[in-house]
Amino acid sequence: MVIWLTGLSGSGKTTIGKILYRELKPKLSNLVFVDGDTIRDIFLNDLGFDLSSRVTQISRVQNLVRFLEGQDLNVIVSVLYSNPLLLRTNREIFSQYFEVYVETPMKVLQARDTKNLYRRSRDGLINNVVGIDIEWTPPQNPDLVVNTTKATPENSALVILKTCRFFKDISI
């Protein structure tokens, strides 16, 4: 199975993914967690943040996750970019796929600004920030939407665990 968490920077997708991993790993020994920032680090940060680089980054993540799924591993993924074509491709290439949109209003994200992306963009220090100068397209058909202004990361993870069809046979 593949659980794909997507949302804007600062929405909480990595935090929620880590909580899911922590809760599920004792019950699913073949579980791995893939985070977009970690994949960038593994590839020595060889990509920029422009639109083309973001598509390449997601393609890398898709290829890695397809490889892992092919090894009978269950994968939790947290990544930012939400291109409709790439998300549609996920449904085609993964045999068991569950998409979660980690929704958070831009106003809240700018207040959180955990990586100072929004402030640096506003100050003209950086560009290519999704939701600012790169258009953000929310997932069109996610299996679940969790809004992190209405729930803690722990509660969001619990909703995913209770909702995801892959966990029906797992006591949580």
Q: 107-158, pLDDT tens digit by residue?
A: 999 999 988 999 999 999 999 999 998 889 999 999 999 999 989 999 999 9
Tens of pLDDT, residues 58-72? 999 999 999 999 999
Closest CA to 10 of 122, 142, 107, 154: 107
Q: Does residue 78 have an active-site annotation?
A: yes
Residues 117, 122, 123: CA angle, nearest 5 degrees: 100
Q: How far apart are CA 109 and CA 9, in angstroms?
A: 7
- Which pLDDT does position 138 carry in this prediction? 94
Residue spans per domain, the chain: 2-153
pTM of this prediction? 0.93
Mean predicted lDDT score pLDDT of the chain? 92
Lookup result for tokens 């619990």: 158
Query: Which of 9, 78, 82, 121 does the annotation list as catalytic?
Result: 78
- For domain 2-153, give the CATH superfamily: P-loop containing nucleotide triphosphate hydrolases (3.40.50.300)
Q: How far apart are CA 32 and CA 24, in angstroms?
A: 10
Instruction: List, in sequence order, every beta strand (DSSP E) within 20-160.
Output: 31-35, 74-79, 97-103, 144-147
